[in-house]
Chain A
Amino acid sequence: MTERSAKLVFWAGTLVSLVLFLAMTADTHRHFAALTHADRLDERVVAGKRAFELRNCNDCHTILGFGAYYAPDLTRAYARVGEETIRSRLERPAQVLASSWRKMPQQHLSAPEVEAIAAFLRWVSEIDNHDWPPQDSEARWRASTRRLLATAALSPGAALVQQGGCLGCHALGESGGRVGPRLEWIGARRDAPWIAAYLADPQRFTPGTSMPALGDVPAAQREVIAEFLVSLAPIRGREP
């Protein structure tokens, strides 16, 4: 190779890549608004981002997969565990995560900050990022639940969940609210006896939760509901 051709490699390689990169950057900016739902990016969301940065959350958690890898990814946290869980973890991490072997520092957030971070996480959870991360893929949850419900029309647990108003707060498959955690997510983390005990007296496990106690419901029915939730996530690991 001559010196001349070496210089040619340098200039051609650099300029081709640079021009291509800048062109794609310009085009990407044309798509960001739609892909990130910029119309929903209001001042409360921005305040949440500022609070998120002020507390250095991103040096333990990842978000969009970036940051430190010490704590759960927050991209779909809002869709996964719901607004109330997010609030309680932000307000009282030491109590809520008392049984965890990895701790979250107490953040001493004001009520408006908690509000803003929840709004921020809600906005982030709606970013169209090619369905990453896989473990929180809503499409996967919906598909598996749709299959399950189609074959389990007679499942007494499914019927109780649907009639009992659980979906007013919890997501399940295509439907449900975002106050509490997604039901499939609960089934993935907990076993049936734990869920049945929780249903009887939620305050004992998460003091202050708005989850109503099902203490009046017969124990057999609580167990049936618990079995159903666990069946939503057959291969998934559970917390001891």
Chain B
Amino acid sequence: MTYRSQRVAYPYFVVALLLFGLQLVLGLWLAFNYWFTLPQAIVDVFPFSTARAMHTNLLVLWLLLGFMGATYYAIPEETQSELAWPRLALAQLVLLAGTGVVALVGFLFGWTQGRPLLEIPRPLDVLVVVGALMFLANVGATVLRARRFTATQGSLLAGLTFLALLYLVGIPFYRNLAVDWYYWWWVVHLWVEGAWELVAAALVAFLIIQLTGIERRVVEKWLYVELGLFLFTGIVGTGHHYYWLGAPRYWLVAGGVFSALEPLPIALMLVDTWRHMRASRRPLRPRLTWVFLFGMAVLHFVGAGAFGFAHTLPQINYYTHGSQVTVSHGHLAFYGAYVLVNLSFFYFAVPRLRRFPTDEYRSALGHWGFWIASVSLLGMSLAFAVAGVLQAYLERVQGQAFMVAQAPMRFWMLAAFLHGLGVLVGGSMIIGHLLTLKPAPAA
């Protein structure tokens, strides 16, 4: 840490980690609902739908707070100047976290916009937009005052601006359900396969420049290529969600071709990370930070690239669309890409924010946490995948009724739940470890 104002990042990370823990608990509850028959009295008071709204909104909220905190850490280093308004950054955290908590409590009482992932009611959307504007103004002013522009910060800023603009598309009420879903995907797909990829790629580039000492020019050259491929495949790739919503048939071709190419930039990111690690001018230390960073590159490719590709072609998607196959892909992709990129950044930044004598920290608990969470999450995604393939065959090919087909899936949802316990244990270890990080004893 070189600049005082970078310290605002720390409370962002703390809030993000606490929300992450709550997200895991709710996820476990959802998995429980899938194999255990809850009595009507509980279902009437706390239905699956409410828990799911909380689970997904917590995910989005904590990942975004993590990205924002990471940006507040990275921007001063990139611009070589203090943040424009550090106090505004803290006010923004209070506003966004407060809005999130109000929204979560509101869900419990049935206050919702009622559209998956965009359940935050419209009056609260205004507060979210205010928070996003505070963020963009703060970062924008810092960059403009410093007059120092880098590709890394450009990618970060472009991703975050793009992200904020797309959120606006999700706010209005659409009369036509097909049009509604058409623009819903502008938020959801263009976030995770567009804007968020820009942010993640920028944060990875930042970490690599900081940790390896490789020349910025080299890292950023490949960043340009990654971003070009992400956006080339990802923008028209939105079409893989337009196959069955009442849009013209050409989306089957456009969505199929472009989304089949979507694994390429992720593969390039994995290769780039590997090459930069080999070319590193410094030892790859601390080891746990690199475990997270490289684990991110690998699981990002497996979850988002490979699992996504597996059901993106229209011929397959006709049978797997809206089944547990989607759930399998969603969990591994979010974990591999965005959970791990956030956690990697936290592991990089926390020792610096807390001014450890060296950047080394005691890491045993974190190592256990990483492996328990990652292996459990992989197992959970595989359990969802088996359930999904069963569902695709029994319900979609054979034509069994939904609940009939769910019966043989029940065992696999139990398997997913048991792996979910592992994710909760591993995740709690990571959260506890990061919140109580201690410097390594002097050698």
Closest approach, in angstroms, between the C-beta of A48 and any C-beta of chain B?
10
Is A14 part of the binding interface, using a Cβ–Cβ cutoff of 8 Å? yes
Decide: A134 and B327 in contact? CB cutoff 8 A.
no
Q: Is the CB of A106 within 8 A of B48?
A: no
Given contacts A10-B227, A69-B327, contact A188 B116 (CB under 8 A): no
Q: Are A63 and B119 in contact (CB under 8 A)?
A: no
Convert B114-125 into 0s and 1s, putting 1 for each residue whose CB lies closer than 8 angstroms to a CB of A: 111001000000
Which among A35, A53, A127, A134 is the interface contact of B318 at CB below 8 angstroms?
A: A134
B244 A129 Cβ-Cβ under 8 A? yes
Tell me what chain B mostly uses at the interface: helix, strand, loop, or mixed: helix
Min CB–CB distance A95 → chain B (angstroms): 10
A contact residues around B250 at 8 Å (CB)? 24
Does the CB pair B179–A24 fall under 8 Å? no
In the complex, residue of chain B having the shortest beta-carbon distance to the beta carbon of A27: B248
Q: Given the interface contacts A56-B114, A59-B52, does A13 sit within 8 Å of B248 by beta carbon?
A: no
- Chain B residues with CB under 8 Å of A174's CB are none
Would you call B114 and A69 a contact (CB within 8 A)? Answer: no
Asked if B184 is at the interface of the complex by the 8 Å CB criterion, the answer is yes
Cβ A129 vs Cβ B246 within 8 A:
yes
Chain A residues whose C-beta falls within 8 Å of the C-beta of B119 in the assembled complex: 56, 59
Q: A102-B37, A103-B38, A133-B322 are in contact. Are A53 and B115 (CB under 8 A)?
A: yes
| Contact residues of B between 5 and 38, Cβ < 8 Å to A | 33-34, 37-38
Nearest chain A CB to B323 CB, angstrom units:
6
Chain B residues with CB under 8 A of A65: 244-245, 321-322
Complex contacts, A68 vs chain B, CB 8 Å: 48-49, 52, 116
B249 touches A130 (CB 8 A): yes
Asked if B258 lies at the interface with its beta carbon under 8 angstroms from chain A, I say yes
CB closest residue in chain A, given B235? A17
Q: When the two chains form their complex, are residues B114 and A133 in contact, meaning their CB atoms are under 8 A apart?
A: no
The chain A residue with its CB closest to the CB of B397 is A134
A146 → chain B closest CB, angstroms: 16
Q: How many residues of A contact B (CB 8 A)?
A: 79
Query: Is B405's beta carbon under 8 Å from chain A?
Result: yes
Contacts A11-B228, A64-B178, A130-B252 given; does A59 touch B246 at CB 8 Å = no
Interface residues of B in 35-62 (CB under 8 A from A): 37-40, 43-44, 47-50, 52-53
Q: How far, in angstroms, from A13 to B243 measured CA to CA in the complex?
A: 23
Task: Please tell me the number of chain B residues within 8 Å of chain A, measured between CB atoms.
Answer: 81
Question: Is residue B236 contacting chain A, with contact meaning CB distance below 8 A?
Answer: yes
Instruction: Flag A96-133 by CB within 8 Å of B: 1 or 0 each.
Output: 00001111111000000000000010001001111011
Is A89 positioned at the interface, with any CB of B under 8 Å from its CB?
Answer: no
**Cβ-defined contact, B235 with A18, below 8 A:** yes
Using A27-B248, A135-B396 as known contacts, say yes or no to A64 and B177 having CB atoms under 8 A apart: yes
**B-binding segment of A148-156, A192-200, A208-216, A229-237:** A229-237
Question: Is A24's CB under 8 angstroms from B251's CB?
Answer: yes
Contact with A along B405-439 (1 / 0, CB 8 A): 11000000000000000000000000000000000
Are A188 and B228 in contact, with the CB atoms below 8 A?
no
Contact for A188 among B181, B224, B323, B399, CB less than 8 A: B399
Query: Does A143 touch B at the CB level, under 8 Å?
Result: no
Known: A68-B49, A134-B397. A32 touches B43 (CB 8 A): no
CB contacts under 8 Å to B, within A2-32, are 2-3, 6-7, 9-14, 16-18, 20-21, 24-25, 27-29, 31-32
CA distance A56 to B323 in the complex (A): 19
Residue contact A60 to B404, C-beta cutoff 8 Å: no
State how many angstroms separate the Cβ of B121 from the closest Cβ of chain A. 11
Interface residue A57 (Cβ < 8 Å from any Cβ of B): yes
Q: Could you tell me if A233 and B403 are in contact, using CB atoms closer than 8 angstroms?
A: no
- Asked if A237 contacts B244 (CB within 8 A), the reply is no
Q: Which residues of B contact A70 (CB under 8 A)?
A: 33-34, 48-49, 52
**A-B contact list, 11 entries, CB within 8 Å:** A20-B254, A35-B178, A36-B178, A53-B112, A59-B116, A60-B48, A62-B322, A63-B177, A73-B322, A128-B246, A237-B400
Apart from A105-B49, A135-B400, 15 more pairs, CB < 8 Å? A3-B221, A6-B221, A6-B228, A14-B228, A36-B178, A54-B114, A65-B322, A68-B49, A70-B34, A70-B52, A103-B39, A132-B321, A188-B400, A237-B400, A237-B401
